[in-house]
Amino acid sequence: QRNEYIFTLMGEESPSVLVGLRYAPDKLHFLFWSQERAGGWQTRVTFPNVSLSDNQWHTLVLAVSGQSFSLTVDCSIPKDVVVETPFPASLSVRRASFYLGNRRRRKGVFTGLLRQLVLLPGADATPRICHAVNFKVATLSVPSVLQDVPAKPVSNEVLKYPYETDMKVTLGARPRCTKREKAQFWFNASRRGLYLCNGSTWLSMLEVQHRLDYVEEYQNLVTNSETMGIEVFTIPKVGLFAAVANRITPPGSAIYRWADGKFVHYQNIPTHQAQSWKYFTIGKKIFLAVANFEQNERGQEFSVIYKWSRRKAKFITYQRISTHSARDWEAFVIEGEAFLAVVNHREGNNHNIDSVIYRWNPRTGLFETNQTIPTSGAYDWEFFTIGPYSFLAVANTFNGTSTKIYSHIYIWLSGSFQLFQSILTFGAADWEVFRIGDRVFLAVANSHSYDSGTPAPSNFYAINSSIYELNITAQMFVKFQDLLTYSALDWEFFSVGDDSFLVVANSFDGFTFSVNSIIYRWQGYEGFVSAHHLPTVGCRDWEAFHTAEGSYLFYSSAKEPLSKVLKLKTT
């Protein structure tokens, strides 16, 4: 017959409750302090008709998200409350302490038994607790969800968790949609439709899942010269762009902008047998790095980082970095720090040289050498993350005598990349990491098989490229599937609706550069199965992109000054 506190969080020198849970006769009150109002303000969220004084164990799950509060008692139907004052996005707990079963004084002490109190950041724990057979006496052990330590955020932002509290779905007949139901969902079972209330009307949220039917030629893009690589990117509030790496200087390489459903010329940039471009951002800064393969007119060998000028609305030179027949750049962020890795292919006739990883120095605003990694005629870097771990894979192509060499996967440990796994490859030109459901795959494009010490094969270029899958138990990538390719130089993964695809850049079959590149469709147990054969000429690179008009594939030709945009036609 009185108020009792289950727990409170209180400042050292303040009588105010920062966060608390109070039980009153047939009611439960959740209290929190809002510092957004002048002088501070305590908000009380009340859940009525909560009866707990029956000499039985009970499991309570309270979920909080913004203005939405949900209480589930003994895994029954949740009680939902929406209030005007949201739970604060930030709440200082400096010099504050938790008090279990009281509010730091004798009055209001909890007189029942409290067996377990778990504070789970950012998620509704109901589905984790309520699957138990006897949820009223759920295990005292620490829930498994708390044993997975969250990865360190990649920036100063708070870790983002999946909030479910305010995700309420109503079933049955069409409910009302007013300001009170705003942001709530209604599932129409008869029509299999999901609708969102915007405060006055129900808006349809389900889209028809498209399936790839066929591919049609959409745009022939005449380029400055043969194109070695493509980078498609979006500059916020400006538009969609494509940077193409052209072989001949002058005129160098070009940037195209998507306008009226086509790529149109936007800017020329002087390059020296450019191999690839890499778009990346650091904070609000926008960069584009080119990998130059040859020396400039002064005999200097530089690859260049360009920065987007908002005033001039074009890319301008920002930093030159000494490279050696650079093939590729890879940009990534680890633990909030920005990195840029370059693949050095060879220095003179020596293919066994170091490739370099640069770290962004925010004080100088420049990239500085952080680590060197030995590579052999390397073509490509591929960065990816799995859980809290960061990986960097290099495609080693040629060691001076053979293309049958190991390519390596490195893992970031203690501030540097260390060898994680070595995979035998054959003139590896590209790595492509992708995910299907919870499965992680890594595909290598093998370009040719050559070894000066062994008899020549019947065809150097008709060779299997391989797909590897991460085996969690073995903690390594294991071969999943081989696919016959013809001097493959690139893989590109993309999705249409619920379907997943891989397209390979076949460049040469030993006789001609006019070779079909293949789109493979994911068929589950069968793996990837050939679905579409695309005529290409010296295909070097594929890029998939999407616009409001549809989905597209963009391929570059290393043998003619003509690249093509193909449109994916769906049903």
- Note if the bond before 251 is cis, omega within 30 degrees: yes
Q: Is 183 exposed, middle or buried (0-12, 13-18, 19+ CB in 10 A)?
A: middle
4-140 carries CATH number 3.40.50.10680: no
Q: Which residues contact 230 (CB under 8 A, 6 or more apart)?
A: 242, 243, 244, 245, 277, 541, 542, 543, 554, 555, 556, 563
pLDDT score, position 131 = 64
pLDDT digits (tens, 9 = 90+) for 4-33: 999 999 988 788 899 999 998 889 999 998
Please check the confidence at residue 169 and state whether its pLDDT lies above 90: no
Please check the confidence at residue 552 and state whether its pLDDT lies above 50: yes
Give percent above pLDDT 90 in the chain.
Answer: 65
Q: Can you tell me whether residue 218 is helix, strand or coil? A: strand
Q: Taking CA 127 as the corner, what is the angle to CA 50 and CA 121, rounded to the nearest 5 degrees?
A: 85
Q: Which residues contact 112 (CB under 8 A, 6 or more apart)?
A: 4, 52, 53
pLDDT score, position 167 = 58
pLDDT score, position 156 = 44
pTM of the model: 0.67
β-strand pairing of 169-171 with 185-188: parallel
Task: Give the H/E segment covering residue 488.
Answer: strand 488-496
C-alpha 405/C-alpha 220 separation (Å) is: 37
Of 9-18, 34-43, 308-317, 377-386, the least confident? 34-43
pLDDT digits (tens, 9 = 90+) for 60-108: 889 888 888 889 888 888 888 888 888 888 888 888 999 999 988 888 8
pLDDT score, position 88 = 86
Domain ranges of the chain: 4-140, 144-207, 212-570
Q: How confident is the model at residue 495 (pLDDT cuts 50, 70, 90)?
A: very high
pLDDT digits (tens, 9 = 90+) for 200-226: 888 877 766 788 999 999 999 999 999
Beta bridge partners of 34: 41
C-alpha 493/C-alpha 520 separation (Å) is: 10
pLDDT score, position 89 = 80
The residue ranking higher by pLDDT, 177 or 371, is 371
Please check the confidence at residue 294 and state whether its pLDDT lies above 70: yes
* Architecture field, domain 212-570: 7 Propeller (2.130)
- Could you report how far apart the first and last alpha carbons of the chain are, in Å? 65
The per-residue pLDDT of the chain, averaged, comes to 89
Q: Is 216 exposed, middle or buried (0-12, 13-18, 19+ CB in 10 A)?
A: exposed
Give the max Cα distance, the chain.
Answer: 93
8 Å CB contact between 327 and 273:
no
8 Å CB contact between 6 and 21:
yes
Please check the confidence at residue 146 and state whether its pLDDT lies above 90: no
pLDDT digits (tens, 9 = 90+) for 420-431: 999 999 999 999
C-alpha 123/C-alpha 120 separation (Å) is: 7
Please check the confidence at residue 36 and state whether its pLDDT lies above 80: no
